[in-house]
Structure 1
Amino acid sequence: MRTRLSLSLSILLLLFGVAPVVPAADGSAASVYLPDTKAGRLGEGWLKACATKDIAQIRTWTLAHLSAETAKHAPVDRIVQRDAETCMLNGGFRVAETEKSEEQSGSWLMIGLQSGIWYQMEFNTDAAGKIVNAGIIVTPPPESSLPKDLSDARLVAAVIDIARQRARDGVFSGIVSVARGGQVIVSSSFSYADRAKKTPIDGSTEFTLGSMGKMFTAAAIGQLVDQGKLSFEDKVGKFFPDYANQTVRNKVTVGMLLSHTSGLGDFLGQRTPAMMKDGTKRAAEFLPLFDKDEPKFAPGTSWDYSNAGLVLAGAIVEKASGEDYPDYLRKHIFAVAGMTHSDANNIPHRSAHMVTPYTKMTDKDLSADWHEAEGDIGSPAGGALSTADDLVRFAEALRSGKLVSKGVFAQMTKPWRSGEHYGYAMQIEDVYGRTVVGHSGGYPGVSTDLNLVLDSPYTVVVLGNFDPPSYAYVDIPVLALVVEKAKREAAKKP
């Protein structure tokens, strides 16, 4: 599973387009050339800028090489700050493999020299060789580099070591839990729920989940499908015959809302001060923020991340069930799954068990120090509260058929189109030939991920109270070990 960290990249200097030959994590010394293409030359330039570890030089290079259109929308200050932090964390990179090389597009697999974290680096340019988009993506290490011993004891030690190292690096604060069949094998936490009070984090510490909560909405819809109260193919107009936008009313299905293929956009920036202060009682309260919006594309023909779509799906839960969305979650999702420390968070939640979110984000850029972030409120698009222990229970309830039928779960975890990586509020990835499903979440001071390894009993939960992509530094390497363990155990079965 891969996660995009930023628009731009932070990478080590490759003189004359050649990666320096240094020992790899797996003991080899192989490295690859960056090609003399538009994409490759951008890579070389980034390497030089990043090697300086000088924010001013990184900023100068970035502004000089972004395309005009990208520069209009790119949060340059945040990109530059994160790039500098990535350079410091990794101390440079060894480029290990070329995955794709074309004149205006290229991607390479590389490893951080200090961190041992594996990344996919990619550039896409316009005809003039300017950056259209680019990224550094945390990716599982090569399967051949994984340890031969993946016994429970070895896995426990490795998980603790990964989380400890990332906490020492200052990029992770939170908890990672690995479970098998609903039983936690290892749960390791570092840093604090409250830095001032030095409150420790454990399995019952409550975190805001960000977009991970979209899975709760999908599970609620799935339950109503099982009960015959709706279908994934039902149109919005069946439940909202007076919905303002005609295209959405007549052409958008429930499944499109869950799979981000409706063409609807975002609504988070339109939430009112009163909503953020006092919360909401029903999902339908959000609809006037976007119900007149025309879809960006013909519904069902393309994919674009849509918080508005999930909120509309939550409002459909209310119509089909006759219950307010927050109450529905509490009664039919959390209670059924045994999630005793979880809440919809529709009214700003406070408890002694809740983490304080910490961010470096400000209105314009990133600050040098962590400071307390403003809390989010819950909606069908995310923002609910839960704990590592409760999310293990949620994963097991999904897997076992306790929340939705196995047939509906199979629909939720099927890509919306062949070759895509998203189902019904489920991210879908191939890791070493095994399918992993779940969802991540991010918000200032919130960085979370939940993964279920299909056709296995394994679950990985990572919850953090630092800015995204904090979770990825722990989640991806831990998930790689867990998937490999599941794969080896399956191979031994008769």
Structure 2
Amino acid sequence: MHTSNRIIQLFKENQASVPFSGSAYVKGKETLVATCFGYANRSEKICNQTDTRFGMASGCKLFTAVAICQLIEQGLFKYDTPVQDIIHLSLPFLSPQVTVHHLLTHSSGIPDYFDEDEMDDFEELWKKRPMYRMNRPLDFLPLFQEKPMMFDAGKQFHYNNAGYILLGMIIEATSGLDFRQYIKKHIFNPSGMTQTGYDRMDHLLPKTALGYIEDPKTASWRTNAYSLPIQGGSDGGAYTTVYDLEKFWNHLFSYQLLGKQFTEKLLTPHIQVDTHLYYGYGLWIAFHNDQVFKYFIFGYDPGVRLSSSVYATSRIQSHLLANSEVNINQYARQIDDIVKSEPALI
């Protein structure tokens, strides 16, 4: 069976048990798969298209990491610069040992505003602090600034959203631009990502999929309109298409966003997360047979799922964007298996 048919077949086979609502795009030397399933708007029966815009959740932490590396490349600060030397805010428990590198690699030990190892209901955050007031990185500061350090800087990996909030503040403090303005000017525009942006959830652009959360008790659906911050920022929440993701990766790997030295620094496996899994700057790095197998980003929010991968040897790209809480890892793993089994498609 041809590779493209194998990939399409896996979506069809999984639809009954793990229904996929979204857009899928796999590209090698030629397009292998560009397909879509489900509704962008369930009440109006508007179908998802391959160029529909979807939420990225934490997948866009990579944009923040690229921006930080750009500013370091300009000489405005260094990877080992202490955070407190760059931003001067009320962070009474912030250790002076915490550096930019620690924030980038989730090894800072700073307290998080949403600890994914201990909390599973993102909506709980907005009961005391309305989601419609979360407009800037600074708005998140009260959620974690009075909490003590979790561990000494550099001691371990612990996924941390607050660290990327601080990185957003660093971008604003050193560039003189609002975070979203900086990303648009220095990443989206140079990459030709015309369909990517940090939209307000109450002002979504055309062809944007609504995110849906299923209530298993009633078998009904509701949107994620009250589940997420009103507008995305440095720790997540942009909207994009599978085609814009391809443009981004192409520009990153061709050194058009960062020079070769700084691109390689971003792609370096800086800290081990699991047996075959490492973290670079803003992205995950999977190993297979003791070699880098793929670079990828992953997003997980109420009503949002994203998996975007570039396979290290072949440069095949695989982008999955979903507007439901599907187990997107199941699809990503099966595409991994196909890539491993068919190097000829590279």
Q: Structure 1 residue 483: deviation in Å?
A: 4.4
Residues 347 and 172 of structure 1: is their aligned pair in 2 closer, same or farther, counting only changes over 3 Å?
A: closer
Q: Structure 1 residue 273: deviation in Å?
A: 6.9
Gaps of at least 5 residues in structure 2 are 115-123
Identity in percent:
27
Q: Does 1:463 align with 2:325?
A: no
Instruction: Write the distance in 1 (CA, Å) between the matches of 2:104 and 2:130.
Output: 24
Q: Structure 1 residue 199: deviation in Å?
A: 1.7
Instruction: Write the distance in 2 (CA, Å) between the matches of 1:456 and 1:321.
Output: 36
- Match of 2:263, SS? helix
- Aligned match of 1:473: 330
| 1:283/1:324 contact within 8 Å kept | no
| 1:449/1:475 contact within 8 Å kept | yes
- Aligned match of 1:130: none
Larger RCO (CA under 8 A, 6+ residues apart): 2
- Decide which of 97, 106, 109 is 1:251's aligned counterpart: 97
Q: Does 1:203 align with 2:53?
A: no
Gaps of at least 5 residues in structure 1 are 1-148
| 1:278/1:348 contact within 8 Å kept | no
Alignment deviations for residues 183-225 of structure 1 (CA, whole Å, 9 cap, x no partner): 6432111122122322222232111111101111111111112
- Decide which of 371, 375, 385 is 2:239's aligned counterpart: 385
Instruction: Write the distance in 2 (CA, Å) between the matches of 1:300 and 1:256.
Output: 6
Q: How does 1:412-451 map to 2 (within 5 A)?
A: 412-417=266-271, 421-431=278-288, 433-451=291-309
Instruction: Write the distance in 2 (CA, Å) between the matches of 1:273 and 1:374.
Output: 18
| 1:179/1:458 contact within 8 Å kept | yes
Q: Structure 1 residue 288: deviation in Å?
A: 2.8
Alignment deviations for residues 330-387 of structure 1 (CA, whole Å, 9 cap, x no partner): 11111111111111235644133111212225xxxx4352412323331211111111
Alignment deviations for residues 392-451 of structure 1 (CA, whole Å, 9 cap, x no partner): 111111111111222222222222236651121211112454421111111121111111
Alignment deviations for residues 289-324 of structure 1 (CA, whole Å, 9 cap, x no partner): 212222200011111110101111111111111111
| Higher mean displacement: 211-220 or 171-180 | 171-180
| 1:279/1:348 contact within 8 Å kept | no
When the two chains are superposed, the root-mean-square deviation of aligned CA atoms in Å is 2.4
| AA of the residue aligned to 1:402 | Q
- Decide which of 263, 266, 285 is 2:112's aligned counterpart: 266
| AA of the residue aligned to 1:256 | H
| AA of the residue aligned to 1:293 | K
- Aligned match of 1:318: 172
Residues 167 and 260 of structure 1: is their aligned pair in 2 closer, same or farther, counting only changes over 3 Å?
A: same
| AA of the residue aligned to 2:100 | V
Q: Structure 1 residue 325: deviation in Å?
A: 0.6
- Decide which of 20, 34, 39 is 1:192's aligned counterpart: 39
Instruction: Write the distance in 2 (CA, Å) between the matches of 1:238 and 1:298.
Output: 18
- Decide which of 158, 173, 178 is 2:6's aligned counterpart: 158
| AA of the residue aligned to 1:425 | G
- Match of 1:421, SS? strand
Give the total of aligned pairs: 329
Q: How does 1:92-111 map to 2 (within 5 A)?
A: none
| 1:167/1:191 contact within 8 Å kept | no
Q: Structure 1 residue 462: deviation in Å?
A: 0.5
More helix by share: 1
- Decide which of 218, 228, 252 is 1:398's aligned counterpart: 252
| AA of the residue aligned to 1:399 | F
Instruction: Write the distance in 1 (CA, Å) between the matches of 2:328 and 2:106.
Output: 23
- Aligned match of 2:217: 367
Instruction: Write the distance in 1 (CA, Å) between the matches of 2:338 and 2:18.
Output: 23
- Match of 1:193, SS? strand
